A and B are shown apart, each in its own frame.
Chain A
Amino acid sequence: GNSVTQMEGPVTLSEEAFLTINCTYTATGYPSLFWYVQYPGEGLQLLLKATKADDKGSNKGFEATYRKETTSFHLEKGSVQVSDSAVYFCALKGTGGFKTIFGAGTRLFVKA
């Protein structure tokens, strides 16, 4: 079945550092891929998405590219801020399906 694997956290970075959170997936067909973020004390919210191979999703300085050849959707940001401290979830939704499958989440701490 479909699954998502993302790097374990926590990830601790200093402000303005470069961020990469790795995500790989297993799925048949052509799933849609997502990154969700959960800020402290808040609900999950969609950060970015990509619906087909080679698409790049971007939002708030974050980017992720749908790589079908490596079945990956790594999250990157060139310069993180303290306000980016949160838990980040990689997710996929299979072709024609209703279920969204989430990874275990990666907690990011950004120090001033």
Chain B
Amino acid sequence: GAGVSQTPSNKVTEKGKYVELRCDPISGHTALYWYRQSLGQGPEFLIYFQGTGAADDSGLPNDRFFAVRPEGSVSTLKIQRTERGDSAMYLCASSVRFYQETQYFGPGTRLLVL
């Protein structure tokens, strides 16, 4: 079946603009995670959803970052007033249940803030 998909694959924006990054998890997966990966680093946890609710958003760096998952499937990561330091690869992953430890990752969205 289809894996986790993310759109767009690349996003270039200007400092101060608003961006939305989309994640389509594997069908039937109730757990969804967002990570941020800077060049030469490992993924850094941002937020975790179980169903429609954010069970843990402690990794969001500040209040410019927000994520939603209104119907328990597709999720959108929203970044307001982007800064150059937000440039990174944003990864989404899903798993069957929150306690299932195998996460399936999408290909990522590379965000560049000029």
Contacts and interface: CB of A to CB of B under 8 A. Distances in A.
A96 B103 CA distance: 16
Contacts, number: 51
A104 B55 contact: no
Given A44-B105, A46-B103, A98 B98 contact: yes
Given A98-B55, A98-B56, A43 B42 contact: no
Given A98-B56, A98-B98, A104 B45 contact: no
Given A44-B91, A46-B102, A93-B101, A102 B107 contact: no
Interface string B68-109: 000000000000000000000001010000100111111110
Contacts of A49: 101-102
Contacts of A69: none
Interface in A1-21: 4
Nearest to A38: B105
A61 to B, nearest CB: 20
Given A32-B101, A49-B101, A105 B40 contact: yes
A43 B44 contact: no
A45 interface: yes
Interface of B: 3-4, 33, 40-45, 48, 55-56, 58-59, 91, 93, 98, 101-108
Interface of A: 4, 32, 34, 42-46, 49, 51, 89, 91, 93, 98-105
6 contacts: A43-B106, A99-B56, A100-B43, A102-B42, A102-B43, A103-B42
